[in-house]
């Protein structure tokens, strides 16, 4: 033990640094007190936070910090009261204060699970479990392991988890060995987004919990993964009519909440499939009743225009998901003259035949009038994009004013 006025009394002294021993030995200085004191003076690593130490990928460093901290049998400075404890140092709290101990563990376990190499990540996780007990493995650590494909770490978490009251983070945990694991939220998303489908299935089977699957649905649509879409449909996805599959038997896992969340994103489903260029996913959505809906067709058209997948626009017209007039209108407003010309050549005679969508406003006072495809706003937007210089368009886009405001001034 060494007394250091800056760090507090009686802090354990780790083994002297090798660099210090070699330098002092070169000057024939072998006195243990001098070697220990010099090592304490130059050794700043022992004051590192555990989460930062884990980033350096060194179990030896973790051991050094741990051995340089007050043991569990010592009182926490927090328990001694203000003014009665030593000067602040992480080493006074790391092993003696359960709240600070749990805080450091949560940050460290996330960093350990992030390591690219499974072997090294497993070594760090094992070390943390050997030294920290009665703590909480946060959602972030589970998601990190899932995103990096570390199935062995997830199995380790599952094997050694202890029960805890969901929503409580501290005093409900009493165990000599093991830690509470927070499953759910975005762990399955993390696995699916990184194509670790073995982990995706494992989490669903072995760790039921409330989860956000919106990004899983998006990934499946953009990749055209029909197997995943069928699985989500069977287990999580609310149908268009509001019914939900398997909800009654799995409510404890949060399936109902997930289904409701996914249903709220239905208006974006087709746009996600288009962004991925996946016609098979679009066909799946249409077959299962998940079209964009009349109020959100513009999202679908904009996605096709932005990705330049004009053949998909033809498919949307043929399947009556959107009307040709709506595409022409959106193309004009977005300054896509090429698309407007193509659809004029191919579909104008059909647009004119749609008596429900006249070219000029008529009977605007009728509350139940149909949508007008080609309006004055459409024409103004088209003229603006055709004739305004790029600099003017950039200036207009930089402000919040409507493109039609002050157009004639």
3-state SS record for the chain? CEEECCCEEEECCCCCCHHHHHHHHHCCCCCHHHHHHHHHHHCCHHHCCHHHHHHCCCHHHHHHHHHCCCCCCCCCHHHHCCCCCCCCCHHHHCCCCHHHHHHHHHHHHHHHHCCCCHHHHHHHHHHHHHHCCCCEECHHHHHHHHHCCCHHHHHHHHHHECCCCCCCCCCCCCCCCCEEECCCECHHHHHHHCCCHHHHHHHHHHCCCCECCHHHHHHHHHHCCHHHHHHHHHHCCECCCCCECCCCCCHHHCHHHHHHHHHHCHHHHHHHHHHCCCHHHHHHHHHCCCCCCHHHHHHHHHHHHHHCCHHHHHHHHHCCCCCHHHHHHHHHHCCCHHHHHHHHHHHHHHHHHCCCCCCCCCCCCCCCCCCCCCCHHHHHHHHHHHHCCHHHHHHHHCCCCCCCCCCCC
Q: Tell me how far the alpha carbon of residue 252 is from its chain's centroid.
A: 23
Q: Which of 200-214, 216-230, 260-274 has the lowest mean pLDDT?
A: 260-274
Q: Is residue 244 part of a domain?
A: no
Q: Is residue 55 part of a domain?
A: yes
Do 76 and 135 share a domain, yes or no?
no
**What is the mean predicted confidence (pLDDT) over 57-73?**
89
Q: How confident is the model at residue 364 (pLDDT cuts 50, 70, 90)?
A: very low
What confidence score (pLDDT) does residue 240 get? 47
Closest CA to 211 of 114, 142, 268, 276: 142
Q: What is the C-alpha separation between 10 and 74, in angstroms, rounded? A: 11
What confidence score (pLDDT) does residue 137 get? 96
Residue 251 predicted with pLDDT over 50: no
Per-position b or e across 127-158, b if 16+ CB within 10 A of its CB: bbbebbbbbbbbbbbbbbbbbbbbbebbebbe
**What is the mean predicted confidence (pLDDT) over 274-303?**
86
Do 193 and 120 share a domain, yes or no?
yes
Closest CA to 10 of 71, 100, 95: 71
Residue 65 predicted with pLDDT over 70: yes
Do 60 and 31 share a domain, yes or no?
yes
Q: How confident is the model at residue 129 (pLDDT cuts 50, 70, 90)?
A: very high
What confidence score (pLDDT) does residue 119 get? 95
Do 150 and 184 share a domain, yes or no?
yes
Residue 18 predicted with pLDDT over 80: no
Do 119 and 71 share a domain, yes or no?
no
Residue 340 predicted with pLDDT over 90: no
Do 81 and 101 share a domain, yes or no?
no
Q: Is residue 300 part of a domain?
A: no
Do 28 and 52 share a domain, yes or no?
yes
Q: What is the C-alpha separation between 401 and 252, in angstroms, rounded? A: 49
Q: Which residues touch 26 (CB under 8 Å, ≥6 apart)?
A: none
**Phi, psi dihedrals of residue 390, rounded to the nearest 5°:** -60, -40
Q: Which of 79-93, 181-195, 239-253, 379-393 has the lowest mean pLDDT?
A: 239-253
Q: What is the C-alpha separation between 254 and 321, in angstroms, rounded? A: 33
Do 122 and 165 share a domain, yes or no?
yes
Do 13 and 104 share a domain, yes or no?
no
Do 3 and 85 share a domain, yes or no?
yes
Which residues span the domain enclosing 8? 1-95
Do 103 and 41 share a domain, yes or no?
no
Q: Which of 142-146, 193-197, 240-244 has the lowest mean pLDDT?
A: 240-244
What confidence score (pLDDT) does residue 284 get? 92
What confidence score (pLDDT) does residue 409 get? 27
Q: Which of 40, 67, 95 is the last residue of a domain?
A: 95
Tokens of 82: 């203000």
Q: Which of 79-88, 189-198, 262-271 has the lowest mean pLDDT?
A: 79-88
Residue 243 predicted with pLDDT over 60: no
Residue 358 predicted with pLDDT over 50: no
Q: Is residue 65 part of a domain?
A: yes
If one counts the domains in the chain, the total is: 3
Q: Which of 41, 68, 95 is the last residue of a domain?
A: 95
The pTM for the full model equals 0.69
| 254, β-bridge pairs | none
Residue 40 predicted with pLDDT over 60: yes
Q: Is residue 234 part of a domain?
A: no
Check residues 283 and 325 and name the one with the higher pLDDT. 283
Asked if 84 contacts 112 with a C-beta cutoff of 8 angstroms, the reply is no
Longest CA pairwise span in the chain (Å): 103
What confidence score (pLDDT) does residue 21 get? 72
Q: How confident is the model at residue 408 (pLDDT cuts 50, 70, 90)?
A: very low
pLDDT digits (tens, 9 = 90+) for 217-229: 888 899 899 988 8
Q: Which of 152-161, 215-224, 238-247, 388-397 has the lowest mean pLDDT?
A: 238-247
Asked if 284 contacts 226 with a C-beta cutoff of 8 angstroms, the reply is yes
Q: Is residue 391 part of a domain?
A: yes
Check residues 136 and 254 and name the one with the higher pLDDT. 136
Do 134 and 172 share a domain, yes or no?
yes
What confidence score (pLDDT) does residue 381 get? 63
Q: Which of 187, 207, 227 is the last residue of a domain?
A: 207
Q: Is residue 376 part of a domain?
A: yes
Q: Is residue 304 part of a domain?
A: no
What confidence score (pLDDT) does residue 173 get? 64
């Amino acid at each position: 033990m060494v007394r250091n006025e800056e760090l507090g009394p009686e802090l354990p002294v780790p083994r002297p640094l090798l660099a210090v021993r070699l330098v002092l030995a070169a000057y024939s200085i072998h006195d243990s007190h001098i070697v220990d004191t010099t090592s304490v003076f130059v050794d700043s690593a022992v004051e590192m936070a555990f989460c930062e130490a884990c980033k350096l990928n060194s179990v030896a460093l973790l051991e050094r910090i741990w051995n340089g901290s007050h043991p569990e049998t010592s009182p926490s400075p927090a328990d001694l009261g203000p003014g009665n404890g030593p000067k602040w140092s992480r080493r006074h709290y790391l092993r003696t204060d359960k709240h600070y101990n749990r805080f450091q563990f949560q940050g460290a376990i996330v960093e350990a699970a992030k390591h690219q190499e499974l072997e090294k990540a497993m070594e760090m996780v094992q070390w943390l479990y050997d030294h920290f007990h009665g703590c909480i493995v946060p959602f972030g650590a589970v998601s990190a392991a899932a995103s990096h494909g570390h199935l062995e770490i997830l199995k380790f978490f599952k094997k050694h988890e202890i029960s805890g009251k969901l929503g409580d983070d501290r005093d409900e945990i009493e165990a000599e060995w093991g830690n509470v694991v927070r499953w759910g939220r975005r762990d399955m998303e993390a696995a699916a987004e990184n194509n670790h489908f073995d982990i995706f299935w494992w989490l669903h089977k072995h760790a039921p919990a409330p989860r956000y699957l919106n990004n899983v649905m998006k990934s499946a649509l953009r990749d055209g993964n029909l197997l995943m879409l069928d699985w989500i449909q069977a287990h999580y996805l609310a149908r268009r009519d509001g019914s939900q599959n398997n909800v009654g038997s799995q409510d404890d896992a949060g399936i109902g909440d997930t289904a409701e969340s996914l249903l709220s994103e239905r208006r974006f489903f087709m746009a996600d499939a288009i962004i991925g260029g996946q016609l098979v996913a679009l066909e799946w959505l249409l077959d299962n009743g998940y079209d964009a809906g009349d109020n959100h067709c513009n999202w679908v058209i904009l996605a096709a225009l932005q990705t330049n997948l004009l053949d998909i626009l033809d498919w949307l017209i043929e399947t009556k998901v959107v009307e040709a007039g709506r595409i022409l209108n959106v193309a004009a407003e977005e300054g896509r003259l090429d698309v407007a010309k193509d659809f004029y050549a191919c579909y104008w005679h059909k647009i004119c035949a749609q008596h429900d969508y006249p070219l000029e406003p008529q009977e605007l006072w009728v509350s139940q009038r149909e949508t007008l495809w080609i309006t004055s706003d459409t024409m103004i937007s088209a003229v603006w994009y055709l004739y305004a210089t790029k600099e003017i368009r950039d200036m207009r886009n930089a402000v919040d004013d409507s493109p039609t405001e002050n157009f004639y001034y």
